């Protein structure tokens, strides 16, 4: 737009703005510069990259604002978590596309072919490295996005006018977990199969439509070839498209509203007198996003890439035996213990503790829905305008408690699933906490928890063991031969002929049983 109309739409401040070029003394006047030319910083305008973008794409003010936005010269490394997420997503796209050239999971392919193709990838050094990068990149995405959400929560970046930044961030979190879970099934080994079986089984608790919904997700009653095809389509098409679009909206909102930490450090009144893309009033101690902040951001991205590459080089992605839905000897050489993926261990442990104490529907549905609703409504419920931590003790305390509980459940779930200590000889003077508790935690706690089921026999605490269950006292101090726990471990309890604990697992060896018997013989002390 030329003439006075352009002047009204883009007024130039009397002071601080870029000066207009004086008309030539002779000849026709030079055309007035466009609004974009007026506001381009010389250090940006002179670069070949800017000229290329301007000529090819007609780059305008919004791009100027993004490239020339002021950022502190020294920023908190945690402010770059979102940028690292974009890098990790690009890593997943590139490595995923490379893996698709060798992986077989088409509608005509069988699950066995999916496993064999993954096995072939794992035996080729270069292809195996690409798979390892993809595997560890997926795990890194889950960790980094959780840290990013926690960081955003801590600095209060969900408050108006950034509500939709928070909501799009939650969509990114859901898509990341969905990608990790759907991709977990694709190798079609025992771990992939049973982790998916455990995770998808939670859907059946949805009232009325639960079982129909479970059948729809799996494509059959149990995890099968249809499940593999569906998860492959979700993993390679649906979720990446949603994630790509959401990242675009999220980045756009960040450009529009800026980062909370950056805005807080800008001089008072800067935004009111700031013209989009202008550098005449650039704050002291700040640098433009391009190229200064981009350079720092690139270093963090390269650092993340190096760390993932090192892990991938030395720790290969796991691949167990081919999936077997029977999962019991002699159909398989060794029984696989169904477990969810690590980022679901917290929920898995929660279900183990509260199963039977609360109705399953309450444990599986209500609690997660309450958490999701609280996260979605947080920007609209927290009316405190301050972003400072000292002004938000209640919200931050609730967040800290929630984070601590999630971490504790994750650790407890991981610890309870570690293999029991291998004892080659019985311990003569065993300690309950050092020698027996690890055996109980891994072999008995997954079933006999604090919930009143399986005979009301609870072994997750010393008090529970001493109390016993419906079969009477679990042990008689000083008399292991007549103690119920020893009889059940040996499969010799006459009240339940043929029943040997632990059910569905490898029986304890003689050294383990004798160690427990020695502890009882010495009085079953809480030592």
Sequence ranges of the domains in the chain: 3-68, 77-276+288-414, 432-521
Q: Which of 110-114, 217-221, 501-505 has the lowest mean pLDDT?
A: 501-505
What per-residue string of b and e applies to 180-213 under the rule 16 or more CB within 10 Å gives b?
bbbbbbbbbbbbbbbbbbbbbbbbbbeeeebeee
User: What is the rounded CA–CA span in Å between residue 2 and residue 25?
Assistant: 22
Question: What are the start-end ranges of the E strands in 20-92?
Answer: 70-72
pLDDT tens for each residue of 385-428? 888 888 999 999 999 999 999 999 888 888 776 665 566 678 88
The three state secondary structure string of 248-276 is: HHHHHHHHHHCCHHHHHHCCCCHHHHCCC
Residue 307 reports pLDDT greater than 50 = yes
* Sequence-ordered list of residues with C-beta below 8 angstroms from that of 137, at least 6 positions apart, any chain: 88, 91, 92, 95, 308
User: What is the rounded CA–CA span in Å between residue 2 and residue 323?
Assistant: 70
**Pick from 510, 489, 507: nearest CA to 424:** 510
Residues above pLDDT 70, as percent of the chain: 75
Tokens of 463: 């008090």
User: What is the rounded CA–CA span in Å between residue 210 and residue 228?
Assistant: 20
Mean pLDDT (the chain) is 79
Residue 203 reports pLDDT greater than 70 = yes
pLDDT tens for each residue of 2-51? 444 433 334 444 444 444 444 444 555 555 444 444 455 566 666 777 67
What dihedral do alpha carbons 507, 511, 517, 522 form, nearest 10°?
Answer: -150
Please state the separation of Cα 51 from the chain's center in Å. 40
Say what the pLDDT of residue 19 is. Answer: 45
Residues above pLDDT 90, as percent of the chain: 29
Say what the pLDDT of residue 493 is. Answer: 77
User: What is the rounded CA–CA span in Å between residue 87 and residue 298?
Assistant: 9
As a CATH number, domain 77-276+288-414 is 1.20.810.10
User: Would you say the pTM of this structure is higher than 0.85?
Assistant: no
pLDDT tens for each residue of 227-261? 999 999 999 999 999 999 999 999 888 888 888 88
Degrees (nearest 5) of the Cα angle 495, 505, 338?
130
User: What is the rounded CA–CA span in Å between residue 390 and residue 396?
Assistant: 9
In the chain, the N- to C-terminal Cα span, in Å, equals 85
Higher pLDDT, residue 110 or 347: 347
Element (H, E) at 104: none
Q: How many residues belong to the chain? A: 527
Element (H, E) at 287: strand 286-288
């Amino acid at each position: 737009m030329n003439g006075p109309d352009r002047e009204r739409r883009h007024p130039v401040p009397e002071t601080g703005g870029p000066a207009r070029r004086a008309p030539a003394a002779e000849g026709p006047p030079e055309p007035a510069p466009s609004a974009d030319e007026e506001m381009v910083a010389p250090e940006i305008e002179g670069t070949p990259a800017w000229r290329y973008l301007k000529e090819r794409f007609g780059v305008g003010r919004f791009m100027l604002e993004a490239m020339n936005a002021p950022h502190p010269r020294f920023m908190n490394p945690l402010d770059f978590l979102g940028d690292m997420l974009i890098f990790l997503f690009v890593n997943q796209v590139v490595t995923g596309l490379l893996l698709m050239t060798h992986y077989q999971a088409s509608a005509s392919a069988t699950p066995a072919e999916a496993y064999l193709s993954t096995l072939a990838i794992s035996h080729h050094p270069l292809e195996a490295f690409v798979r390892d990068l993809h595997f560890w990149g997926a795990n890194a995405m889950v960790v980094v996005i959780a840290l990013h959400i926690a960081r955003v929560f801590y600095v209060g970046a969900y408050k108006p006018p950034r509500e939709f930044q928070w909501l799009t961030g939650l969509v990114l979190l859901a898509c990341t977990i969905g990608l990790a879970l759907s991709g977990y099934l694709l190798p079609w080994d025992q771990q992939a199969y049973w982790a998916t079986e455990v995770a998808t089984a939670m859907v059946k608790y949805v009232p009325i439509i639960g079982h129909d919904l479970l059948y729809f997700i799996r494509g059959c009653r149990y995890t099968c070839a249809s499940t593999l095809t569906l998860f492959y389509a979700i993993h390679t098409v649906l979720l990446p498209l949603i994630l790509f679009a959401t990242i675009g909206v999220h980045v756009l909102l960040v450009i529009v509203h800026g980062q909370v930490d950056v805005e807080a450090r800008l001089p008072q009144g800067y935004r009111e007198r700031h013209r989009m893309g202008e550098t005449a009033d650039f704050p002291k101690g700040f640098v433009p996003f391009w190229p200064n902040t981009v350079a720092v951001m690139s270093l963090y991205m390269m650092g993340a890439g190096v760390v993932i590459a090192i892990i991938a080089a030395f720790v290969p992605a796991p691949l167990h035996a081919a999936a077997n839905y029977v999962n019991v000897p002699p159909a398989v050489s060794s029984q696989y213990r169904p477990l969810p993926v690590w980022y679901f261990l917290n929920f898995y442990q929660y279900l183990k503790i509260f199963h039977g104490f609360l109705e399953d529907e309450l444990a599986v549905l209500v609690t997660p829905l309450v958490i999701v609703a609280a996260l979605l409504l947080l920007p609209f419920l927290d009316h405190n305008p301050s972003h400072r931590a000292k002004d938000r003790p209640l919200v931050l305390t609730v967040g800290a408690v929630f984070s601590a509980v999630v971490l504790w459940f994750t650790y407890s779930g991981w610890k309870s699933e570690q293999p029991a200590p291998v004892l080659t000889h019985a311990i003569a003077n065993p300690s309950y906490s050092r020698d027996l508790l690890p055996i109980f935690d891994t072999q008995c706690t997954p079933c006999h928890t604090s919930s009143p089921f399986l005979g009301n026999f609870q072994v997750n605490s010393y008090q529970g063991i001493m109390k016993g269950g419906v079969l009477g006292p679990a042990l008689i101090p000083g008399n292991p031969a007549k103690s119920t726990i020893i009889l059940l471990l040996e499969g010799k309890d006459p009240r339940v002929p043929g029943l040997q604990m632990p059910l569905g697992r490898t029986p304890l060896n003689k050294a383990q049983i004798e160690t427990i018997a020695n502890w009882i013989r010495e009085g079953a002390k809480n030592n």
